[in-house]
């Protein structure tokens, strides 16, 4: 068997914000580091992030501080976050942002020359460091340029299909070049998963094709657990028209900068959906909400800026009640509320996106928007301080890791999450590797077996087309494990997933190994199926509604479930199973934060 082999201390899977930040940290800690990514360098899904990086720097509001950010994050996640992750995140985000400037990032400025910070849903103060509405691009480019300047090896357009382990933990990874279809293996005592999310399990999603849950599935296969996979965030505002762009994100900044949601009757319906939990801090009248944009101290926030789960559910209800827009969404209107010049300056990418993709001028007419699958809060269960999974040598950071965001993520907390835990994972991975130097080796049988499995779709003939199976899976998840869930529907989803699993095992692909997208998809599908099954199983088990998980048959939030995590693991016979685990308890000095300010 022909195989390209490499040896490193740390292999990072994924070159988005978390992966690149981890690679930089590992390299700076002295580890020989490689980054492996499915796309070209700099194309990772992080570029899609628009709003900003949440960090309590206090540039706009000196009252802001990590405790306020911590509190906002926990409340946004309905208290199901791992408190320690939320704490580290809030404490370290400002330094992670400042360090980007040392690497060349150019954020928008305040009048006194500091990094400008903008308002976003769920955040008490304006705290999102941003660059217009292309912050993700700035982040990825900065980290990319830093990675290249440091001389970190990057394996582009290269997919990892397996993690290799022995009794003592990780020994490396196996994968293929997308371009040539040839195999390669990395011997490494530490592997950092930074593969992002699972959006491609759903039909309407803001995520790119890369988001097939590879990291989640690789971790499961290696023996790690996935925590709270039932929490999937549907971003309230995705494009709904034309069909070919359905799901593409419309940034929350549109609402932060004055945009409002209206139904077909022209009403700002969000005032009808303010939950008690947020009533004290949300405006009751349109006048108060409108005053807030200019005077944030004496007015409460508009309900359009409630956390994403609340807004998504509200839009869902309006459409179902028949008050939706012509193409099945609601109207997001900034045209009638802000001058055209202001919209073009504050939201240039959005202006561009609607003009180019939908032929809609957002400075002249409202947008049509609806919920779109955006982010999975669940992910690999990790130690907060080191981002280490339960398998020695395996680390996870960014969207693929779980716990940080609880049941619902606040906008802007994703980019800061990438930076804080990407760095922590890189440091810890380098340290782990230094202890295991020279003792890891790849077993030949495992490599042969990995290669055999990868080539299997070519061996079979007359099987199904992978595109058909993927679209059926997406439809299943969309219809049966979507925003609003019920037990019978999810049971049906599990039955269908079982059938799809058999169909995936019988797939066949045409052509040869050189840059063959059909083959690539056939190899991604088992990952998608595994995460879909975890989501459905966990969602069926959690009999309450909370954050990104809404049960029609259990509409209330249950305090007992508020102390419980669900962990999805693979049993020795290969089945997926979900078990309950107590939520780590917050120390009293942090719990005080929630009493002192309400």
Residues 76-115 that bind another protein (CB under 8 A): 98, 101-104, 106-109, 112-115
The one among 56, 88, 170, 315 contacting another protein by CB under 8 A: 315
| Footprint on residues 242-261 left by another protein (CB under 8 A) | 242-249
Q: What are phi and psi of 177, to 5 degrees?
A: -75, 125
Region binding another protein by CB under 8 A among candidate stretches 2-10, 68-76, 401-409, 557-565 = 2-10
- Of residues 308, 346, 409, 542, which has the active-site annotation? 308
| Footprint on residues 161-180 left by another protein (CB under 8 A) | 177-180
The one among 63, 149, 345, 587 contacting another protein by CB under 8 A: 149
Q: What are phi and psi of 17, to 5 degrees?
A: -55, -45
Region binding another protein by CB under 8 A among candidate stretches 154-162, 294-302, 338-346, 400-408 = 154-162
Bridge partners of residue 5, in order along the sequence? 185
How many angstroms separate the Cα of 416 from the Cα of each of 33, 100, 421, 521?
A: 23, 11, 8, 31
Minimum gap (Å) between residue 117 Cβ and another protein: 13
Minimum gap (Å) between residue 497 Cβ and another protein: 18
CA angle 157, 159, 164 (to 5 degrees): 145
Region binding another protein by CB under 8 A among candidate stretches 364-372, 423-431, 455-463, 491-499 = 364-372
Residues 20-53 as b/e (b if ≥16 CB within 10 A, e otherwise) read bbbbbbbbbbebbbbbbbbbebbbbbbbbbbbbb
Region binding another protein by CB under 8 A among candidate stretches 85-93, 127-135, 377-385, 499-507 = 127-135
| Footprint on residues 565-594 left by another protein (CB under 8 A) | none
Does 327 interact with another protein (rule: CB under 8 A)?
A: yes
Query: How many whole angstroms separate alpha carbon 591 and alpha carbon 301?
Result: 25
**Beta strand ranges found along 315-450 (DSSP E):** 330-333, 367-376, 379-380, 394-396
The DSSP line for 105-147 is ----B-TTSSB-EE--TT-SS--EE-STT-HHHHHHHHHHHHH
197 vs 247, beta carbon nearer another protein: 247
Q: Are 217 and 531 in contact (CB under 8 A)?
A: yes
Which region holds residue 64: left if phi is over 0, alpha if psi is between -120 and 50, else beta? beta
385 vs 510, beta carbon nearer another protein: 510
Query: How many whole angstroms separate alpha carbon 347 and alpha carbon 276?
Result: 32
Region binding another protein by CB under 8 A among candidate stretches 77-85, 191-199, 269-277, 505-513 = 505-513
Minimum gap (Å) between residue 328 Cβ and another protein: 4
Instruction: Supply the Cα-derived Rg of the chain in whole angstroms.
Output: 23
Residue with tokens 């308002």, as numbered in its chain: 119
CB atoms within 10 A of CB 98: 15
105 vs 218, beta carbon nearer another protein: 105
Does 358 interact with another protein (rule: CB under 8 A)?
A: yes
Q: Are 533 and 198 in contact (CB under 8 A)?
A: no
The one among 92, 157, 304, 333 contacting another protein by CB under 8 A: 157
CA angle 251, 271, 237 (to 5 degrees): 20
CB atoms within 10 A of CB 113: 8
The one among 284, 510, 553, 592 contacting another protein by CB under 8 A: 510
Minimum gap (Å) between residue 226 Cβ and another protein: 25
The one among 92, 119, 210, 381 contacting another protein by CB under 8 A: 210
How many angstroms separate the Cα of 433 from the Cα of each of 21, 29, 172, 216, 421?
A: 17, 11, 11, 22, 18
The one among 30, 63, 168, 182 contacting another protein by CB under 8 A: 182
Number of amino acids touching another protein (CB under 8 A): 107
The one among 204, 387, 469, 493 contacting another protein by CB under 8 A: 204
Q: Are 325 and 368 in contact (CB under 8 A)?
A: yes
The one among 467, 506, 580, 592 contacting another protein by CB under 8 A: 467
The one among 339, 511, 555, 587 contacting another protein by CB under 8 A: 511
The one among 284, 361, 385, 444 contacting another protein by CB under 8 A: 444
Active site residue 308: yes
517 vs 587, beta carbon nearer another protein: 517
Residue with tokens 């196996």, as numbered in its chain: 174
| Footprint on residues 21-80 left by another protein (CB under 8 A) | 39-43, 45, 47-48
65 vs 584, beta carbon nearer another protein: 65
| Footprint on residues 515-574 left by another protein (CB under 8 A) | 515-519
Q: Are 511 and 519 in contact (CB under 8 A)?
A: yes
Q: What amino acid positions are annotated as catalytic residues?
A: 308
């Amino acid at each position: 068997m022909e195989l390209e082999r490499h040896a490193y201390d740390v292999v990072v899977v994924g070159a988005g914000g978390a992966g690149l930040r981890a690679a930089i940290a590992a390299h700076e800690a002295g580890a020989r580091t490689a980054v492996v990514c499915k796309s070209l360098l700099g194309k990772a899904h992080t570029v899609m992030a628009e709003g900003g990086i949440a960090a309590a720097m206090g540039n706009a509001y000196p009252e802001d501080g990590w405790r306020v950010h911590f509190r906002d994050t926990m409340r946004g996640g309905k208290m199901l976050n791992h408190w320690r992750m939320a704490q580290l995140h809030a404490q370290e985000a400002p330094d992670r942002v400042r360090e980007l400037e040392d690497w060349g990032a150019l954020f928008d400025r305040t009048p006194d020359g500091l990094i400008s910070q903008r308002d976003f849903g769920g955040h008490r103060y304006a705290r999102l460091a941003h660059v217009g509405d292309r912050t993700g691009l700035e982040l990825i480019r900065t980290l990319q340029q830093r990675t290249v300047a440091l001389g970190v090896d990057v394996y582009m357009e290269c997919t990892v299909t397996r993690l290799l382990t022995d009794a003592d933990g990780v020994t490396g990874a196996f994968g293929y070049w997308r371009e040539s279809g040839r195999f390669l293996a990395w011997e490494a005592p530490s592997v950092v998963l930074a593969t992002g999310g699972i959006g491609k399990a759903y039909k309407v999603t803001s995520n790119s094709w890369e988001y097939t849950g590879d990291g989640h599935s690789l971790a499961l296969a290696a023996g790690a657990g996935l925590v709270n996979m039932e929490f999937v965030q549907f971003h309230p505002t995705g494009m709904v028209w034309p069909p070919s762009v359905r799901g593409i994100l419309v940034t929350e900044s549109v609402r932060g900068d004055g945009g409002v949601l209206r139904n077909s009757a022209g009403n700002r319906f969000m005032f009808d959906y303010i939950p008690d939990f947020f009533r004290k801090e949300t405006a009751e009248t349109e006048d108060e909400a409108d005053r807030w944009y200019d005077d944030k101290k004496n007015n409460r926030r508009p309900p359009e800026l409630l956390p994403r789960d609340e807004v998504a559910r509200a839009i869902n209800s309006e459409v179902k009640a028949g008050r939706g827009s012509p193409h099945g969404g609601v109207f997001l209107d900034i045209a009638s509320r802000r001058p055209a010049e202001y919209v073009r300056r504050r939201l240039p990418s959005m202006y561009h996106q609607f003009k180019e993709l939908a032929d809609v001028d957002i400075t002249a007419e409202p947008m049509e928007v609806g919920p779109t699958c955006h982010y999975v809060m669940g992910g690999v269960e990790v130690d907060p301080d080191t981002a280490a999974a339960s398998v020695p040598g395996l680390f996870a950071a960014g969207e693929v890791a779980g716990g940080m965001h609880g049941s619902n993520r606040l906008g802007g907390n994703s980019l800061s999450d990438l930076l804080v835990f990407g760095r922590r994972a890189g440091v810890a991975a380098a340290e782990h590797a230094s202890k295991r130097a020279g003792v890891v080796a790849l077993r030949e049988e495992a490599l042969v077996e990995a290669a055999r499995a990868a080539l299997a779709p070519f061996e079979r003939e007359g099987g199904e087309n992978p595109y058909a199976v993927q679209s059926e899976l997406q439809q299943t998840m969309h219809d049966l494990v979507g925003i609003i869930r019920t037990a019978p529907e999810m049971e049906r989803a599990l039955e269908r997933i079982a059938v799809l699993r058999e169909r995936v095992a019988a797939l066949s692909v045409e052509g040869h190994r050189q840059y063959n997208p059909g083959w690539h998809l056939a190899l991604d599908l088992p990952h998608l199926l595994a995460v879909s099954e975890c989501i459905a199983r966990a969602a069926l088990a959690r009999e309450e509604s909370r954050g990104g998980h809404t049960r029609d048959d259990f509409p209330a939030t249950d305090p007992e479930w508020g102390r419980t995590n669900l962990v999805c693991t693979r049993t020795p016979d290969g089945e997926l199973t979900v078990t309950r685990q107590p939520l780590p308890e917050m120390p009293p000095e942090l719990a005080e934060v929630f009493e002192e300010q309400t």
